[in-house]
Amino acid sequence: MKYNTDHLPDCHAPGVPESNNARLARLKARRKLWLDVHLYLGLSAGFILAIVGLTGSILVFYQEMQEVVNPELALVSAPPEGVAAYRSLDEIIAAADSVRPEGSRIKNVYYPRHQEAAFKLLYYVQAPGQSDHGDGYYIFVDPYTAHAQGMQLWHPKGRYWGRPLVSFIMQLHWCLLLGKNGGVIVGILAVLSIISVLTGLIVWWPLTGKFRQALTFKQHAGAVRFNFDLHKTVGFYSTIVLLAVLFSGVYFNLPAQVNTLVELFSPLERPNAWTGIDEADYRSTVRHDGKPLDYAQIEDSVHRHYPLGKLWKLNAPQHEQDVYKIWKKDVSEISPFIGYRELIVDQYSGEILKVYDSGSGSAGDILLDWQWPMHSGHAFGWPGRILVLLSGLACPVLFGTGVIRWLQKRKAKSHRGPLSKLRQGDKMLRR
């Protein structure tokens, strides 16, 4: 909530040309309308935005958090460089299978993000006849010894309590612990927050041209003025990043609606850049013996056809005709910012059935490719992550200072008599 309608000059003040008086009066009336929109949006959506922003700031470093909170699971002792290499993926999965929960099967493999990180394998419990997944568990395996380091309940079925800290924060950020309906609510509130940010920028704009005053703190100011300056400066300097993060948040929670909007301007090759290629559109050709290739053979096929980049994630087939979906990141030949490659692989032959390179689709695909890297800040490395962190922290600051400013104005209006300290502060803002 970035507002101040009182710093416009008095339309009847000496020295103000009469031709400007009417214009300034119109602008002031228009600004009052935008101020009301900004105020009520901030009061209605600001608290939830503050929660989502704060949790989003924390999640910028969710991978590091997992390693800090559970180092005995997520970290390993790397041998001296060149002494040992990773064990084969078949050995890694065999180690995880040896400790997996009864009735579970592997869904995803997350490759170590650095030399001292463990493999992270996601298993879901699925009872016979169950229409969807049950509890989800992460199993951590040392890549150098193929030793299972432990297991962690990550996705408890139908409940949010009892989760690890990072998983809990993720769910609070995505859906406020309200499931899919909560995700829709957060998406709608993100749309309202975009409008709030834009109206705040309109209200902030110094019509008298005093940009320096609008961009800085007043020295030796009192508490009232400091709160006002904190609100307007934090709001202005976080606007660009906030708009990008909010839009990507809308996309993740309301992908179909955003796709409809984007397709007005550009066709889309993929229905959802977040989930990627829909593997349900592809089928593996079952061999006569019904035996699929080993995991290591699938990896070899991917590396042989596309040697650049690092393996990041593997989605394992769940049924005999399903395919592998594999991601490689840091593919420099594609882009230094969001260079990733997504592949669909036949589980029996290792044939590459479909490839999608980031930035290779339509203009709409490229726009949506950028949403996760922008939302997480990973597109620009550490500077990008820090900017996203600060934009998330800006949300509770803007809500808090906006509410304080609103209460100050209400208190000032309730006074009848001599100017209060707040009125004196507002008078100074008009100078």
pLDDT digits (tens, 9 = 90+) for 327-337: 999 998 888 77
Residue 9 falls inside a structural domain: no
φ and ψ of 353, to 5 deg: -90, -30
φ and ψ of 318, to 5 deg: -105, -20
The partner residues of 357 in beta bridges, in order of sequence, read: 341
Count of structural domains, the chain = 3
| 377 Rama class: left (phi>0) / alpha (psi -120 to 50) / beta | left
Residue 246 and residue 251: Cα distance in Å, rounded?
Answer: 9
142-177 b/e (C-beta count within 10 Å ≥ 16 → b): bbbebebbebbebbeeeeeeebbebbebbbbbbbbe
Helices (H), 290-344: 295-305
Residue 1 falls inside a structural domain: no
Residue 355 and residue 333: Cα distance in Å, rounded?
Answer: 15
Q: Choose the final residue of a domain: 163, 196, 229.
A: 163
Q: Please enumerate in sequence order all residues whose Cβ is within 8 A of that of 117, keeping only pairs 6 or more positions apart, or say none.
A: 67, 74, 75, 76
Which strand ranges, in their side-by-side order, compose the sheet holding 323-329?
148-155, 136-141, 119-125, 104-110, 310-315, 323-329, 341-346, 352-357
Q: Choose the final residue of a domain: 111, 140, 163.
A: 163
* CATH number of the domain residue 290 falls in: 3.10.450
* CB atoms closer than 10 angstroms to residue 56: 24
Domain co-membership, 260 together with 315: no
Residue 304 carries which side chain, given as an amino acid letter?
R
Domain co-membership, 247 together with 291: no
Residue 354 and residue 297: Cα distance in Å, rounded?
Answer: 18
Residue 316 falls inside a structural domain: yes
* CB atoms closer than 10 angstroms to residue 13: 10
Q: Burial level of 374, CB count in 10 A (0-12/13-18/19+)? A: buried
Residue 305 carries which side chain, given as an amino acid letter?
H
Q: Burial level of 231, CB count in 10 A (0-12/13-18/19+)? A: buried
Domain co-membership, 399 together with 252: yes
Residue 137 and residue 265: Cα distance in Å, rounded?
Answer: 41
Question: Hey, what are 228's tokens?
Answer: 């006002």
Q: Which domain does 303 fall in, by range? A: 279-360
CA atoms within 13 A on the CB side of 52: 25
Q: Choose the final residue of a domain: 99, 133, 163.
A: 163
Domain co-membership, 350 together with 391: no
Domain co-membership, 402 together with 254: yes
Domain co-membership, 143 together with 222: no
Which pTM was predicted? 0.84
Helices (H), 138-254: 165-175, 179-204, 211-215, 223-237, 239-253
Domain co-membership, 288 together with 218: no
Domain co-membership, 53 together with 88: no
Residue 56 carries which side chain, given as an amino acid letter?
G
Residue 59 and residue 118: Cα distance in Å, rounded?
Answer: 20
Question: Hey, what are 67's tokens?
Answer: 């390693």
Question: Hey, what are 282's tokens?
Answer: 């592809």
Residue 338 falls inside a structural domain: yes
Number of H helices, E strands in the chain: 15, 8
Domain co-membership, 283 together with 327: yes
Residue 5 falls inside a structural domain: no
Per-residue pLDDT of the chain (431 residues; tens, 9 = 90+): 444 544 444 444 444 455 667 776 777 778 888 898 999 999 999 999 999 999 999 999 999 999 999 999 999 998 887 667 899 999 999 999 999 999 999 999 999 999 999 999 999 998 665 556 789 999 999 999 999 999 999 999 888 888 999 999 999 999 999 999 999 999 999 999 999 999 999 989 887 778 888 888 988 889 999 999 999 999 999 999 999 999 999 999 999 999 999 999 999 887 788 788 888 899 999 988 889 999 999 999 999 999 999 999 999 999 999 999 999 999 988 887 788 999 999 999 999 999 999 888 899 999 999 999 999 998 888 999 999 999 999 999 999 999 999 998 888 887 654 555 555 555 544 54
Residue 400 falls inside a structural domain: yes
Give Cα 71 distance to the centre of its chain. Answer: 24
Residue 152 falls inside a structural domain: yes
Residue 54 falls inside a structural domain: yes
Are 42 and 156 within 8 A, CB to CB?
A: no
Residue 179 and residue 166: Cα distance in Å, rounded?
Answer: 17
Domain co-membership, 229 together with 253: yes
Residue 316 and residue 324: Cα distance in Å, rounded?
Answer: 5
Domain co-membership, 391 together with 254: yes
Domain co-membership, 81 together with 156: yes
Tell me: the pLDDT tens digits for 231-287?
A: 999 999 999 999 999 999 999 999 999 999 999 999 988 778 878 888 889 999 998
Q: Please enumerate in sequence order all residues whose Cβ is within 8 A of that of 165, keeping only pairs 6 or more positions apart, or say none.
A: 65, 69
Angstrom distances, CA of residue 52 to CA of 56, 64, 176, 178, 392: 6, 19, 8, 13, 8
